[in-house]
Structure 1
Amino acid sequence: MQLQVMNSPFNQEQVELLNRLLPTLTESQKVWLSGYIAASSATSVVSAPEQGAQAIESVTPAAAPVQTISKDVTILFGSQTGNSQALAKKAGKALEAKDFKVTVASMNDFKPNNLKKLENLLIVVSTHGEGDPPDNAISFHEFLHGKRAPKLENLRYSVLSLGDSSYEFFCKTGKDFDEKLLELGGTCIYPRVDCDLDFDEPAAEWIEGVINGLSEAQGETATPEAQVSTEAAVESEFSRTNPFRAEVLENLNLNGRGSNKETRHLEISLEGSGLTYQPGDSLGVYPENDPILVDMVIKEMNWNSEETVTLNKQGETRSLKDALISYYEITILTKPIIQKAAELSSNSELKDLVSTGNEDKLKAYLDGHDLLDLLKDFGPWNVSAQEITGILRKMPARLYSIASSLSANPDEVHLTIGAVRYEAHGRERNGVCSILCSERLEPGDTLPVFVQHNENFKLPENPDTPIIMVGPGTGIAPFRSFIQEREETGAEGKSWLFFGDQHFVTDFLYQIEWQKALKDGVLTKMDVAFSRDTAEKVYVQNRMQENSKELYEWLEAGAVVYICGDEKHMAHDVHNTLIDIIEKEGSMSREQAESYLADMQQQKRYQRDVY
């Protein structure tokens, strides 16, 4: 548009100057200039139009009365199993649909010094173990909570936090980030949302809230399309929210006769699903509760098993028995469940259990008790089946490291599942999914499944890179997939496997396959530890110590180290063993060795799939 003399208060010379200047200005310069003129008029800074150029030169940027809000949005994720990463990408797609310029990155890949340059930051992070950040969030978490963290008065942020309410420190990492960003001067775009295992609906609400908050900052009104784009970002086809009913092809016990363990090898068909996976990914399985346990719950409450109950906000209904078998989690209690149960009950002991000051007592009760215990211990109940089911969590999927290569087994996925049986509080207890697979699942049956991609546990891009794999027990699963894949692709890099279990004769999982891989040269080296075969227990970390010199040489040659299995004990011990080896063989101080391993983690040369 050209300015004309006849419809403006400017003379011909001024009009010509403005017509030359205005087309060259950026949007932010136009906003700044309009704000400056408004402010200068109010304070009589400019006494005549011809003084404008000189006056503008004398004004510092701090004096600008109007600032534009950037449409650049950075989304950082901290993810152990891939859920936070998937949600970060969904949020990014939804924002891009609203014309925001989005960068999605792992916290591990983000340079912390760039934090002070950001205007809009979204954090999507899970809490791992007992309140710890996931592996790829550790360094960023430490930076933000350290002395070098910058002031962030210009930062606008929001946090989506994932967790499991059956753990004491539910969503702690997300809470840490939220509180610290606020403390550093950041402004919250949208309140933090803490998600339990069933995170799809609250995550979608958070994405919509963030879009609305950012749009309002732009002076825009969020339209209903924001909701559409949020839904469009959710994966179609088969996914967490739309699992594939996969047929079981094989279900074998890998342990020998007389073993203290039962480890199932499942081969599952993916034919017709369109699902694909890479070595290092997991398979999500939605299990069913044991019908015997469900019958005990119904009998305890004298309910009618055919009574209809409403499951969710959408109004879906099922019979009570079907709902307790396939929809609700009944084997794990959480603090929110106990608190809601106390509101339904007149039992003074239950109310005392959730009262302030009894946190340790409540924590002790949560350990090992289930819904049947709760109903037995604090009865009688004057409540309906609908009221009780209304306080329960939806059945969460169980994630299992995939034990096969899709290249080697087209249209199939294999799992390695250890049967969980134990006694607690006077009753025999069973793992929901593992005992379903062990006792009630036959070839020809189907399971609802989906693929959980995990970019944090992947083979190196360069097939010549050596790899060191540590996987005792069922932790062996992903390494079977690694070796199958490297055989299919003809990878030349050396490979070293550390495996451990109780007894050589009965518990050497996939023994024949490993021996063949060694013979064929697909597996370079294997060290095993069977803890119950000798008077002194020997574990994988002991075998690592025995080979410390060679192991350190592999590290110096660029090897990538992978650990899979139990987090509380094995992974912790192996981590410390690696530091011991680096300290000893590298002639380093403890601090230097820890830094060496941290650098490996930063370079994706130290990856863990632990649970």
Structure 2
Amino acid sequence: MNNDFINQLATIIDTQANDPTVVELPEDAPFEAEQREWLSGLLTAYRTIAQAAASANEDVVGTPMQIYYGSQSGNAEVLVKDLKKYAATQGFEASIDELDSITPAELAAHSHILIVCSTFGEGEPPDNAKHFYTSLMEDEALALPDTLNFSVCGLGDSSYAFFNKCGEDISQKLSAAGAVNCQDFIACDVDFDDSYGEWKGSVFETEVFKSAAGAANTSVAANDDDIPAYDKNRPFIGNLISGQNLSAEQSAKRVNHIEISLAGGGEDMHYDVGDALGVWPLNCPAEVEEILAAGGFTGREVVEQKNGSASLRVLLNTKLDITTVNAKALETWGIESVEDDFQVIDVLTQLKPGLDAQTLVNGLRTLQPRLYSIASSPKKHPSEVHLTIGEVHYDLFEKARKGVASTFLGNRLTSGGNFGVYIQSSAHFHIPVNDEAPLIMIGPGTGIAPFRAFLEEREMRQAIGKNWLFFGDQHEAQDFLYRDEIAAWQDSGLLTETSLAWSRDTDKKVYVQTHILEQGEQFYEWLESGAYIYICGDASRMAADVDKAIRQVIAEHGGLDEAAVEAYMNKLGDEHRYQRDVY
């Protein structure tokens, strides 16, 4: 072939690459009849291959499916993102929404629904599922069609009395209303990965899901662009920079400010203020030795786990929860019942000193990470994350006990020590992008953690919005966390208002909700001017009392009855102006 032929052929192939539908040779192409015929066949084949490749890259549309979730700490939110990806590989095109985005009656419009919902506190629903759950439980006349196929996965903690109550209630109520439960409700414990995985696989193996599945989009499984590099099961190795005790020597508490290096994590370890840090702790070696002695073990016993065998000492140090006694443990160890507060060491010393190593391990839960509200802004502390952690110490059955993670970070991990961490996004607890919006932050004790981060962030962003902090603890002299930083923010004007409550400095018990009521008129004015309310801390007592106080302020200073107050609070929630990080 001559150079003209080759050049013309290259030009035509370039045109084909840009538009595979072009198959005809130009009329003025300088080819003889035999060459034209050969090239036409070549280009037709080229078009067929190109169109097949383009078709293979098109999005595959599966059967519509809705996934709803209720999440307080973020675990359910993480799982539904995984569930959506898996659904695509099984022939379903799923959308994700919070449970509060829909009413129970509106579920009737759908054919395939999956729900992942946690339970926290005393059997309470998560904040973003509260309205749905309440409406569902109260609607005695709810009727759903048998064309609605659903399944529910619950997340909970079996050491609590109301284990997985919300998820189970939702599943039972939907069935009673006429919807078809295609896969039995599953109650996941804190080590939820295996149970969730079994439920996920089982749902799509049911006949009703298999028969309705569309074309599977297997390319989704291979697309890891939106999968974080580090998560609960693949933690980043953080490095302890320092730990500082924030409490005075005379305090009944010990609260530590912990600084951790995320150097090397880059964007994969980026966080926003309001997010939480997952921390993988190790058990206290002294407590491990105590358990070994109580059970008559050497620690060298080899026991089997699903991932292989290991020595008993290694597992007790690094992999197993050596405190919690739940229903599974009692069944495994052949014990009918124990006192509510019994721990593993109490079982070994008082009830079952003769357990063999394998049986002991079979009854223990896996050690789980702890989630802590982040107390720093990445804008002020790049490549670092700070935490505010109260060490857990208490007496039980005349014996001193302590928390695992709080003491691991507070006094067992030395500066420079390494440990696994990951970012848990808390989309429900982020400050607004509007830097003019007023913020009301209510966080006594270690609940101040995210608000230190909020204030650092607003300081770095030079936000002009007003800020009001409600903080308190037992004694001002001993328990005023971040005293100097708060004073500096007051002096600079960043903190517009500061309401401090010390519950044991006087005969009168003063709490943060006391100041909310006393300053109710101003509090209501802030709400009317668009303020966002944030609450962090204990859910069952503090957060409940604060919520009650806010409602009382709205009723009194807004002149509203109970129904109108409820509507006002619902509006705050719908506008994301009432957010809680409670536990």
TM over 0.5: yes
Are the aligned partners of 2:63 and 2:214 in contact in 1 as well (CA < 8 Å)?
no
In structure 1, what is the equivalent of residue 304 of structure 2? 310
Are the aligned partners of 1:211 and 1:222 in contact in 2 as well (CA < 8 Å)?
no
Are the aligned partners of 1:530 and 1:539 in contact in 2 as well (CA < 8 Å)?
yes
1:182 to 2:175 alignment: yes
CA shift, 1:244, in A, is 1.6
Distance 2:101 2:175 in 1: 23
- Report the residue type matching 1:393 in the other structure: R
1:216-235 correspondence runs (5 A): 216-218=210-212, 229=221, 235=227
In structure 1, what is the equivalent of residue 51 of structure 2? none
Please give the secondary structure, in 1, of the residue aligned with 2:451: helix
In structure 2, what is the equivalent of residue 145 of structure 1? 137
Distance 2:221 2:145 in 1: 30
Relative to structure 1, the CA distance from residue 116 to residue 506 in structure 2 (aligned partners, 3 Å threshold; closer, same or farther) is same
In structure 1, what is the equivalent of residue 544 of structure 2? 572
State which of 81, 87, 94 in structure 1 corresponds to 2:73. 81
CA shift, 1:108, in A, is 2.2
CA shift, 1:302, in A, is 1.1
Are the aligned partners of 2:392 and 2:403 in contact in 1 as well (CA < 8 Å)?
yes
State which of 468, 471, 479 in structure 1 corresponds to 2:443. 471
1:247-266 correspondence runs (5 A): 247-266=239-258
1:310-352 residue CA offsets vs partner (Å, 9 max, x unmatched): 23x222x33211211111101122122122211xxxxxxx43x
CA shift, 1:100, in A, is 2.0
State percent identity of aligned pairs.
38
Distance 2:307 2:478 in 1: 50
Distance 2:176 2:541 in 1: 35
Distance 2:470 2:521 in 1: 15
- Report the residue type matching 2:240 in the other structure: V
CA shift, 1:79, in A, is 0.4
1:55-134 correspondence runs (5 A): 71-134=63-126
1:415-454 correspondence runs (5 A): 415-454=387-426
- Report the residue type matching 1:429 in the other structure: R
CA shift, 1:521, in A, is 2.2
State which of 490, 508, 511 in structure 2 corresponds to 1:536. 508
1:294 to 2:267 alignment: no
1:366 to 2:337 alignment: no
In structure 2, what is the equivalent of residue 205 of structure 1? 198
Distance 1:111 1:490 in 2: 40
Please give the secondary structure, in 2, of the residue aligned with 1:516: helix
Are the aligned partners of 2:89 and 2:216 in contact in 1 as well (CA < 8 Å)?
no
- Report the residue type matching 1:187 in the other structure: V
In structure 2, what is the equivalent of residue 341 of structure 1? 333
1:587-610 residue CA offsets vs partner (Å, 9 max, x unmatched): 122343233223322322111111
In structure 1, what is the equivalent of residue 7 of structure 2? none
In structure 2, what is the equivalent of residue 555 of structure 1? 527
Distance 2:228 2:270 in 1: 14
Distance 1:596 1:112 in 2: 22
In structure 2, what is the equivalent of residue 3 of structure 1? none
Are the aligned partners of 1:334 and 1:366 in contact in 2 as well (CA < 8 Å)?
no
In structure 1, what is the equivalent of residue 487 of structure 2? 515
State which of 184, 194, 208 in structure 2 corresponds to 1:191. 184
Relative to structure 1, the CA distance from residue 194 to residue 232 in structure 2 (aligned partners, 3 Å threshold; closer, same or farther) is farther
TM-score where L is the length of structure 1:
0.81
- Report the residue type matching 2:115 in the other structure: I
1:438-477 residue CA offsets vs partner (Å, 9 max, x unmatched): 2212211112111111111111232221110000000000
Relative to structure 1, the CA distance from residue 90 to residue 183 in structure 2 (aligned partners, 3 Å threshold; closer, same or farther) is same
- Report the residue type matching 1:320 in the other structure: L
Distance 1:134 1:331 in 2: 26
1:391-430 correspondence runs (5 A): 391-430=363-402
Unaligned runs of at least 5 residues, structure 1: 1-69, 343-349, 354-361
Relative to structure 1, the CA distance from residue 553 to residue 219 in structure 2 (aligned partners, 3 Å threshold; closer, same or farther) is closer
Distance 1:219 1:541 in 2: 52
In structure 2, what is the equivalent of residue 377 of structure 1? 350
Distance 1:123 1:248 in 2: 38
1:173 to 2:146 alignment: no
In structure 2, what is the equivalent of residue 59 of structure 1? none
CA shift, 1:551, in A, is 0.1
Please give the secondary structure, in 2, of the residue aligned with 1:468: strand
Relative to structure 1, the CA distance from residue 236 to residue 609 in structure 2 (aligned partners, 3 Å threshold; closer, same or farther) is closer
Unaligned runs of at least 5 residues, structure 2: 1-61
Please give the secondary structure, in 1, of the residue aligned with 2:363: coil
Distance 1:246 1:514 in 2: 28
CA shift, 1:171, in A, is 0.9
1:563-603 residue CA offsets vs partner (Å, 9 max, x unmatched): 10112211111111111111111112234323322332232
TM-score where L is the length of structure 2:
0.85
Please give the secondary structure, in 1, of the residue aligned with 2:429: coil
Relative to structure 1, the CA distance from residue 265 to residue 212 in structure 2 (aligned partners, 3 Å threshold; closer, same or farther) is same
- Report the residue type matching 1:558 in the other structure: G
CA shift, 1:239, in A, is 0.8
Please give the secondary structure, in 1, of the residue aligned with 2:269: coil
Distance 2:507 2:136 in 1: 48
CA shift, 1:537, in A, is 1.8
1:11-41 residue CA offsets vs partner (Å, 9 max, x unmatched): xxxxxxxxxxxxxxxxxxxxxxxxxxxxxxx
CA shift, 1:130, in A, is 1.3
Higher deviation after alignment, 230-239 or 115-124: 230-239
CA shift, 1:284, in A, is 0.8
Are the aligned partners of 2:103 and 2:135 in contact in 1 as well (CA < 8 Å)?
no
Relative to structure 1, the CA distance from residue 232 to residue 193 in structure 2 (aligned partners, 3 Å threshold; closer, same or farther) is farther
Are the aligned partners of 2:282 and 2:408 in contact in 1 as well (CA < 8 Å)?
yes
Distance 1:375 1:595 in 2: 53
Please give the secondary structure, in 2, of the residue aligned with 1:390: helix
Distance 2:193 2:483 in 1: 40
CA shift, 1:305, in A, is 1.2
Please give the secondary structure, in 1, of the residue aligned with 2:240: strand
1:278 to 2:272 alignment: yes
CA shift, 1:487, in A, is 1.4
CA shift, 1:219, in A, is 6.7
Please give the secondary structure, in 2, of the residue aligned with 1:493: coil
State which of 217, 229, 240 in structure 2 corresponds to 1:237. 229
- Report the residue type matching 2:75 in the other structure: N
Distance 1:182 1:231 in 2: 36
Q: CA RMSD in A?
A: 2.2
1:391-450 residue CA offsets vs partner (Å, 9 max, x unmatched): 110001111100001111111000000011111111111111111222212211112111
- Report the residue type matching 1:434 in the other structure: S
Please give the secondary structure, in 1, of the residue aligned with 2:505: coil
Are the aligned partners of 2:245 and 2:255 in contact in 1 as well (CA < 8 Å)?
yes
- Report the residue type matching 1:203 in the other structure: Y
- Report the residue type matching 1:386 in the other structure: Q
- Report the residue type matching 2:448 in the other structure: I
Please give the secondary structure, in 2, of the residue aligned with 1:216: helix
In structure 1, what is the equivalent of residue 31 of structure 2? none
Higher deviation after alignment, 210-219 or 192-201: 210-219
